[in-house]
Amino acid sequence: MVENINGLLVLPKDSTALAERIIYLPKNDNLRKGMGEKSHKMTKQYNWKITTKRYVEVYEEVLDRRKALF
């Protein structure tokens, strides 16, 4: 999550900041819509096919490094 790009951050236990953000977001259509669109785009990089491919790449790299040690 990136502040003001695809979400809004507040510090833990800061109820005042949370309330301000909850009030702020519905009043800012462009920001809210933009964050929704950007969040949707980001979800595409987390599909199972891509995630599995990344895991396999990491495992192969670890195995290659281990082979190099022996």
Eight-state DSSP code of residue 47:
S
C-beta of residue 15 within 8 angstroms of C-beta of residue 47:
no
pLDDT digits (tens, 9 = 90+) for 30-39: 999 999 999 9
pLDDT digits (tens, 9 = 90+) for 22-68: 999 999 999 999 999 999 988 887 888 888 999 999 999 999 998 88
In order of 20, 61, 68, the CA distances from 6 in angstroms are 17, 32, 42
pLDDT category at 70 given cuts 50, 70, 90 is confident
What spatial distance separates the first Cα and last Cα of the chain, rounded to whole Å? Answer: 41
Q: Please tell me the pTM assigned to this model.
A: 0.55
Residue 4 has pLDDT above 90, yes or no: no
C-beta of residue 35 within 8 angstroms of C-beta of residue 7:
yes
Q: How far apart are CA 58 and CA 66, in angstroms?
A: 12
